[in-house]
Amino acid sequence: MDEPSPPPEAIELTRESIQAGTVISMASAGGMRILSDEERAASIAEMLATRPKSIDRTGDLWLFGYGSLIWNPAFHFAERRKGRIHGWHRRFCLWTPLGRGSPDQPGLVLGLERGGACTGMAFRMASDQVACELDIVWRREMLSGAYRPRWVRVATSDGPVDAITFTIDPANPRYAGRLAEDEIVRVVATAVGRLGPCTDYLFKTAEALAGLGLEDRTLQRLKRRVEARLAQAADCA
């Protein structure tokens, strides 16, 4: 039975560590192709230039989080609302050879795939903080360009909002495709990276959603299966 390997020295993903370039340095040292400052700035500029007409170009901005952004946003926001988007669903479909895994044993993190629906958290950034906060978000989510940022309509209890979110780029070499659930369970249960065990990423996301009353049945099932695998490994040790 596979067991998680001893974790390397962990890096805490915080606003300060992102701004200091710690995450970028970690990825660069691991040989990952990192977007340049100019590429990130151009990506942000393109998103702002293509914002829906419903959004004031000098006003506040919304961001939709569906994974770790829910429980560890690491950016400043003025408001947050529970929300739901249609046409996309979250799935463990992005290999991570550093953050939640290693080059020898890559982990998996969530991305948005076409189809279905997804619950999560919509965050409103104040207009005077948009530039700074988007830079932090892009340094985290668009580190290597594995996601495609796009605008989505988020349904909330206080009415719909247009928000930026990050969908998977199927052309990126780190895209894992539609893995069988057994494989997802194996990877999540065993991978460990500089940001900690892959299990933490799954458990905290599932627990955060459940705590918000937005329980995701697929994540809850994965959580139960991973917990059972870990318990079995402990019994066999």
**Angle, helix 181-190 to helix 217-236, in steps of 10 degrees:** 60
What SS3 state is found at 171?
A: coil
Alpha helices in 117-194 (DSSP H): 130-141, 181-190
Buried b (16+ CB within 10 A) or exposed e, 21-44: ebbbebbeeeebebbeeeebeebb
Q: Which of these, 133, 126, 145, lies nearest to 38 by C-alpha position?
A: 145
141 a catalytic residue? yes
Cα Rg, the chain, nearest whole Å: 18
- Residue 53 CB partners (closer than 8 Å, separation 6+): none
Tokens of 94: 């992005």
Active-site position among 141, 183, 207, 227? 141
DSSP letter at 59 equals S
What SS3 state is found at 45?
A: helix
**Could you list the active site residues?**
141
